Structure 1
Amino acid sequence: MPKPLSGPRDHTNPLIWCAAIICAAVAVAVIVAGAVVFIGYLVIKPSVPRIGVASAALDAVYFDQTSSLTVQVTVVVRAENDNPKARASFSGTTLGLSFRGQKIAYLVAGAFAVAANSTVELNYVPQSTPIPLDAEDAAAVSSSLRRSVMDFELKGTTKTRWRIWLVGSAKFWLHLDCRLHLPVNGTVVYPRCSSRSK
């Protein structure tokens, strides 16, 4: 009876085995690192630092019905870091204070740090240059004075960064968009207004 013919056996190249082992090791390392990061995130539950308006007041109003408006406003901006074990840093803080779309002043801060589970307050007392008024703006100012309240907008951004345990460093741009309704008699108000991360 004739014996079946058999060809030479194919052997897998050792380089392919090495590549497969390396890929498997990398995959296991990625899975383990992902699990560590996820568990760390669940344990620490980090929160994004915030920036907001702690208080504001309209200190002075100078209104010439035929030409211009000048105001002085006190604004206290509060940077908050609710993370119990992470220090946060803020930089590039630029906020624009406006009245009826016209910029009154820019509130700017250099880089600063906020300790873990702490806050830092930035005090600004900007005084506008005379704001030219057209008939519509002058009528709006007159109406605001009759109501004893003037409306302002405070908009801007800041960048925050903080370290989350083994997860690493996190960075966010924070965006502030506040409407300030300020009594003309100088009463301090406490707006509920804070940033949104993007």
Structure 2
Amino acid sequence: MMKQQSLATELPYVSTRKVREQPILRRPHRTNPIVWCGAILCLIFSLLLIFFGVATLIVFLDIKPRIPVFDIPAASLNLIFFDSLECFNGDFTFLTNFSNPNRKIDVRLEHVEIELYFSNSLLATQALMPSTERQGKARTVSVHMISSLVYLPPNLAIELRKQVQSNRVTYNIRGTFRVRANLGLIHYSYWLHGRCQLEMSSPPTGVLLARSCRTKR
């Protein structure tokens, strides 16, 4: 009799435990439409980015763009004068030549700065107006640089005097240009650096004897 009572008391307990262990079913959570829109927009943007990247690569391989070339075909050294041992005065005129070797691309020089050096000492600087260089065309610009009471270290002042006496003066021209190129709807910009070393005869009738120019990015 006691066994039957204990069995009767245990059965409801087992049944209740089984009921509690049954999983509770929940309604599936629906994704927010905003999340779907964001994912679709990201996919479209990625596809457009890949498309324009491939198109740009094809255009570059077909056109093979080249950088503009900076050169100085002529120059005139008019004056070199020292007020004192280290105070330099000078008058120098030269022609700059900008040529666009590309046959299918126009380029625009948006920022042009020209600097005149003796050795590593700056003698004068000048900014030029922006200009557009057409396909396969070249343009020359006259640049007149005047130096007034420019300080030169004693060793460079002595060296410049020696060069004037030997009738062979070496000047350096440095040009910095910001170039903008147009490939239809594609536009890109980059910086160019032109370097020219000029050998001049002595003033007041100094003429260009030799030059070495290069242009690099």
TM-score when scaled to structure 1? 0.75
Q: 1:87 aligns with which of 87, 106, 109?
A: 106
Q: Which runs of 5+ in 2 are unaligned?
A: 1-22
Match of residue 14 from structure 2:
none
RMSD of aligned residue pairs (Cα, Å): 3.3
Q: Residues 172 and 198 of structure 2 are in contact (CA less than 8 Å); yes or no, is this contact kept in structure 1?
A: yes
Correspondence for 1:169: 187
For each residue in 1:28-74, what CA deviation from the matched residue of structure 2 results, as whole angstroms up to 9, or x when unmatched? 33322221111111111112223333332323444678676543322
CA deviation string 1:99-148 (max 9, x = no partner): 35444322321122211211111112334335566753453233213432
Distance (Å, rounded) in 1 between the aligned partners of 2:76 and 2:110 = 25
| Aligned amino acid, residue 34 of structure 1 | G
Distance change (3 Å), C-alpha of 1:12 and 1:47: farther
- Give the letter aligned to residue 140 of structure 1: E
In structure 1, the gaps of 5 or more residues are none
Bigger helix share: 2
Partner residue, 1:47:
66
* Larger gyration radius, structure 1 or structure 2: 2
Length, aligned pairs only: 192
Cα distance in 1 for partners of 2:75, 2:208 equals 6
2:140 counterpart residue number: 121
Deviations 1:135-167 (A, max 9, x none): 53453233213432112222242222120234x
Amino acid at match of 1:74: T
Which position in structure 2 is the counterpart of 1:192? Answer: 212
Offset from partner CA, 1:5-24 (integer Å, 9 cap, x none): 9x789687484666555444
8 A contact 2:194–2:215 mirrored in 1: yes
Map 1:127-138 onto structure 2 (within 5 A). Answer: 127-131=146-150, 136-138=155-157
Amino acid at match of 1:192: S
1:157 and 2:176 are equivalent in the alignment: yes
Hey, what's the Cα distance between the residues in 2 that align with 1:25 and 1:135?
A: 66
Bigger relative contact order (CA 8 A; separation at least 6): 1
How many percent of aligned residue pairs carry the same amino acid?
21
Report the secondary structure of 1:85's partner residue. Answer: coil
